Structure 1
């Protein structure tokens, strides 16, 4: 799928709404989330490991009228995450929205994600990005988010992690990583109950991107919509829940 998420447009000038950071934002759903938040008036940090792809995404967003900037970010690296937090504090001035979008599916060949032959190295790799990476980034960014008037955290999950639905193909590393991510989301919501920080998990659905091998009928924009909604919830919005575009998802 092309990294372009809609026909070229120009976002009208408006009062800045705050600063948002989207991890894994150089393409697909992450790029669509970045564009959607930018269209609402956020200054958007494009978090990505690869410098060339990160800069290309920033330039594409700038052409469409989004106030975008690049953030070198490898969610599996403590040093990289710490540097990203420092950049946001010293050079950008803060953070209002964090969208933890970076994620991987993991290798599936040779029974690597069949539970009876599960490759533990694959499991470790998937968890390091999909779960540990979210915790690593979130905890590094929380001091900045606490300074915001309307801080929001959105974790991009999947209904494949639902113990009730058990959707999709059998992937014994990826699916449990999303189950754990949903649980971690709930734990954050409990810990942050008496703060302004609202955290939820979002399921974008089966979106035709590089991640899915371009399988699926949903566009990146459609997948991004629920994350954008959760990123802009009012102060009395739900906390610690799991949503798709139709509402709450059974866990």
Structure 2
């Protein structure tokens, strides 16, 4: 029998993150449910376990060094390694986000979570990922982070956003830099676009379900050893940077 895979999903107490955890758990994986809200985290773990998933809670605030370090210790104590990290936690920052009106503090908050938080968690988990036979990192991005789409006349890229959209562009760029640095290892790292899903992040205005949005992350988490790295994907294929 093959060894059970171990995954950690940040922001997994609800929405797309929860569905990623559920999808990986349905494959027989042990899944760490990373979330900062204890009540929501434990409720998600209980729900996943009721569905037969080997889920465990991981207290995790991606903006806090001590919290992330403690999360890494917990995963190490439970499993000794990590096979897949899905950096899903993210915030929009609220409105207004027109560049002439956005509050600089909104910019800081969004980048701290959506970009620096990803770097903080990834670097803390890398020693555990290096112990895996086939480590994978999936950074949950967004189609609005594509500069190609944002600069294409007539393309549907949502409202003007000086914080959220650029934070995903920033995340995409960071993903490429990780792929370059880790190019001589067996770690594959890619960005994923879930599409416009109905979650509380957008007031449930999306036309896709959270489960549909989770599918691309689950696929990238299971890439073969000769799979791509440093790329940006959605269900239909490669997303232009």
TM-score normalised to the size of structure 1? 0.92
- Does structure 2 conserve the Cα–Cα contact (< 8 Å) formed by 1:16 and 1:42? no
- Alpha-carbon distance between aligned partners in 1 of 2:206 and 2:8, rounded to the nearest angstrom: 27
> Would the alpha carbon gap of residues 17 and 92 (structure 1) be closer, same or farther in structure 2, given more than 3 Å must change?
closer
Residue aligning to 2:154: none
- Alpha-carbon distance between aligned partners in 2 of 1:238 and 1:124, rounded to the nearest angstrom: 31
Residue aligning to 1:47: 34
In the alignment, structure 1 residue 133 sits paired with structure 2 residue 106: no
Give me the CA root mean square deviation: 1.0
- Alpha-carbon distance between aligned partners in 1 of 2:4 and 2:229, rounded to the nearest angstrom: 21
Residue aligning to 1:92: 79
Identify the match of residue 190 of structure 2 among 190, 197, 200: 200
Residue aligning to 2:66: 79
How many aligned residue pairs are there? 235
In the alignment, structure 1 residue 181 sits paired with structure 2 residue 165: no
Tell me how far 1:118 sits from its aligned partner: 2.1
Tell me how far 1:171 sits from its aligned partner: 1.0
- Does structure 2 conserve the Cα–Cα contact (< 8 Å) formed by 1:208 and 1:215? yes
* Secondary structure at 2:100 match in 1: helix
Where structure 2 has 5 or more consecutive residues not aligned to the other structure, the ranges are: 151-156
Stretch deviating more after TM superposition (134-143 or 16-25): 16-25
Where structure 1 has 5 or more consecutive residues not aligned to the other structure, the ranges are: 1-13
- Does structure 2 conserve the Cα–Cα contact (< 8 Å) formed by 1:206 and 1:216? yes
TM-score normalised to the size of structure 2? 0.96
- Alpha-carbon distance between aligned partners in 1 of 2:143 and 2:40, rounded to the nearest angstrom: 28
Identify the match of residue 153 of structure 1 among 124, 137, 142: 137
